[in-house]
Structure 1
Amino acid sequence: MTDLSTPIDLIRPAEVAFGAGTLPRVARFAAERGYSRPLVVADAFNAAQVDRLGLAGAVTVFGDVKPEPDIPNLDAALALAAEAQPDLVIGFGGGSAMDLAKLVAVLPGSGQTLRDVVGPERVAGRRVGLVQVPTTAGTGSEAGTRALVTDPEAQAKLAVQSRHMLADLAVIDPDLTMTVPPAVTAATGVDAMAHCVEAYTSRRSHPAIDLYALEGARLVGRYLPRAVADGADREARAGLALASLYGGLCLGPVNTTAGHAVAYPLGTRHHVAHGLACAAIFPHTLAFNAAAVPEKTARVLEALGAPAVSGADAVLEHAYRFCADLGVEMRLSRIGVPEDDLDRMAEEAHAIRRLLDNNPREMSRADIAALYRAAY
């Protein structure tokens, strides 16, 4: 763990518009900057409601973003961008749409390919505007500098990190999340919580980020059960949108740890939605790490409305119950993960050093395999 004297870079979008009714800020921003050729990157559902953005000019829409987007999906978006020659790229949707938007904003015309920019700070620059508009509350991608794309051949996620992929404007209008169904609300909400909790308990945790991380977890604990029970609860939706934003602010300077490393193979190998994968894994990694960060673990449980304990068994019980009470399916065996692949998944998760090296407790391949079996 780091202390107050440890240097840290805090980066966030130049402008953040947060709150109900802020969506028109997108069109005003485009008009103020003189953008006339916007490209909206969205999934099929949000592509059908691009008119809500109120954009002027020759609007192009890439409306084929897939959950957990892969290289062919990115290539299709890049091909459309090369044809449309946009001067503004807008990510409109969940984390998948916003991640692709980041790459669409920096790769066309750069002379760089995806392979050239995988890793930290390898992007040459950006010549177009970038706006992010989340329609779910989970990834916090609107506030971050990372984009993840799945390599279908390697069955692994490729991570690009660059300050050039930071949005010029993030518009977070919680009203856009009102139609998200309960199951997706629950899973994405736990993903937001995992971002906050993993940053809070990371070896790289920092007091400048801890306040966002712990408050983000508290917001999820307070509002996620309400939003799942009543999707029209505007206060709950706003609370989750803020928690997601806080989680995104945690990712840049601190990032996630074992929870996301262990969850990734569920998505890349078996197409489990990212939020659901994180939810199924979250209680197990929190319990595994409890001995290394007992005080912080106790505060996390308090944030979730549970007793402030740090014993592994009790931590697992309370964190598991929080997720299960939301209606999240917590058994890997019931979400399409074959038992005979657990050891291979453990090998892949153990190789994700960019995240596991942040974990507060060393986690071996055997530890990960045991965690998968406990979650199975």
Structure 2
Amino acid sequence: MTSLLTPIEILRPQRLEFGPGLVGTVGAWAKEKGVTSTLVIADAFNAARVDLLALPGKVTVFGEVKPEPDIPNLDKALALAEQTGAELVVGFGGGSAMDLAKLVAVLPGSGQTLHEVVGPEKVLGRRVLLAQVPTTSGTGSEAGTRALVTDPATENKLAVQSRYMLADLAIVDPDLTLTVPAAVTAATGVDAMAHCTEAYTSRKAHPLIDLYALEGIRLVGKYLARAVADGGDREARAGLSLASLYGGYCLGPVNTTAGHAVAYPLGTRHHIPHGLACAVIFPHTLAFNAPVMQEKTAQVLDALGLPRSFEESVVSAATTEFCARLGIEMKLGALGVPRDDLPRMAKEAHAIRRLLDNNPRDLPEADILRIYETAF
């Protein structure tokens, strides 16, 4: 584990505003910057409400962002970016839209391909402005420097990290999440909590990030059930938006661990939404790590309003029940994952070393398979 003597760098959007009713700030900011042409990257639902951004000048919308976006999806967005030559790119949606917006902001005209920038700090620069506006409370992508895209050829996620993909402006308006259905609210809320929990228990955990991580978990424990029960609860929605933002803060300098590595094949191979995949896996990896993270595991449970423990069986049962009470389906079989694919999924997850090497306890392939079988 790292300590106060370990150097750490924190990157934040140049300007970040948080609060209900702020979505139109994007347009006012764009006017200040003299923007006359904007490309908005959104899913179909948010593409229909782009007017909320109040953008000046010519506005082009790429409204075809897919959940778990892949290279063909990115290529379509890049082609439109090349055509429009926009001065500003806006990510408007969940993590998928914001991740694609980051890549659309840096790749056109750069002479670099996607595969050439995979990994840390390989992007050469950025010529356009970038704004991020989240409409879900899960990824915290608005505050970060990473983008993930699935390669259909390998069914693996490609991760790009670059300070050039950090937003010039991030607007977190919790009112934009009022329309998110209960099931998506539940899954994305657990995803935000998983970001915080995995960073808090990581080998790279740092006191500077622990502050955000533990508070993010506490916010989810306090507000997630309320937002699921009543989607119009504006205070609960604001609490989850803040938890998601804090989770994004955790991703930059620390990042996730085994939970996300084990969850990824569920999305890339079986198209289970990312938040749901993370929710299904979360109790199992938290419990697996509990013996070597006793005090921090107890603190996580305490922040969620659950009995403090570091016993694997108790941790797994308590957090599984926490997720199930939110209405989340916690069995892989019920989500359409075939049992005969579990060994291959375990092999793929075990190969995601950029995350597993951060895990506080070594997670062999056989144990990943055991997690899948338990969750099945």
TM-score (norm 2): 1.00
Equivalent-residue separation in structure 2 for 1:98 and 1:336 (angstroms): 28
Deviation at 1:190, TM superposition (A): 0.3
* Residue in 2 that maps onto 1:194: 194
Deviation at 1:24, TM superposition (A): 1.6
Establish whether residue 161 from structure 1 lines up as the match of residue 161 from structure 2: yes
Deviations along 1:197-254, one digit per CA (max 9) or x if unpaired, are 0000000000000000000000000000000000000000000000000000000000
Q: Secondary structure at the match of 1:170?
A: strand
Equivalent-residue separation in structure 2 for 1:13 and 1:249 (angstroms): 11
* Residue in 1 that maps onto 2:270: 270
* Residue in 2 that maps onto 1:85: 85
Q: Secondary structure at the match of 1:291?
A: helix
Q: For 1:211-250, what aligned pairs fall within 5 Å after superposition?
A: 211-250=211-250
Paired letter, 1:21? G
Equivalent-residue separation in structure 1 for 2:112 and 2:186 (angstroms): 38
Equivalent-residue separation in structure 2 for 1:77 and 1:344 (angstroms): 31
Equivalent-residue separation in structure 1 for 2:293 and 2:177 (angstroms): 34
Establish whether residue 76 from structure 1 lines up as the match of residue 55 from structure 2: no
Deviation at 1:56, TM superposition (A): 1.2
Moved >3 Å (runs of 4+): none
Structure 1 unpaired stretches of 5+: none
* Residue in 2 that maps onto 1:139: 139
Q: For 1:1-376, what aligned pairs fall within 5 Å after superposition?
A: 1-376=1-376
Deviations along 1:329-369, one digit per CA (max 9) or x if unpaired, are 00000111110000000000000000000000000000100
Equivalent-residue separation in structure 2 for 1:245 and 1:39 (angstroms): 24
Deviations along 1:17-58, one digit per CA (max 9) or x if unpaired, are 101111121011101111111100000000011011111101
Q: Secondary structure at the match of 2:333?
A: helix
Paired letter, 2:143? A
Equivalent-residue separation in structure 2 for 1:9 and 1:294 (angstroms): 27
Q: Secondary structure at the match of 1:360?
A: coil
Equivalent-residue separation in structure 2 for 1:338 and 1:189 (angstroms): 26
Q: Secondary structure at the match of 1:59?
A: strand
Paired letter, 2:137? A
Equivalent-residue separation in structure 2 for 1:95 and 1:77 (angstroms): 15
Structure 2 unpaired stretches of 5+: none
Greater mean alpha carbon deviation, residues 17-26 or residues 101-110: 17-26
Deviation at 1:109, TM superposition (A): 0.1
Equivalent-residue separation in structure 2 for 1:303 and 1:233 (angstroms): 21
Paired letter, 1:321? E
Equivalent-residue separation in structure 2 for 1:135 and 1:204 (angstroms): 29
Deviations along 1:81-131, one digit per CA (max 9) or x if unpaired, are 000001000000000000000000000000000011000000000010000
Equivalent-residue separation in structure 1 for 2:252 and 2:276 (angstroms): 22
TM-score (norm 1): 1.00
Greater mean alpha carbon deviation, residues 237-246 or residues 311-320: 311-320
Identity %: 72
Paired letter, 2:82? A
Deviation at 1:189, TM superposition (A): 0.2
Paired letter, 2:27? A
Q: Secondary structure at the match of 2:291?
A: coil
Q: Secondary structure at the match of 1:331?
A: coil
RMSD: 0.4
Paired letter, 2:174? P
Deviation at 1:308, TM superposition (A): 1.0
Q: Secondary structure at the match of 1:149?
A: strand
Q: Secondary structure at the match of 1:290?
A: helix
Equivalent-residue separation in structure 1 for 2:131 and 2:305 (angstroms): 35
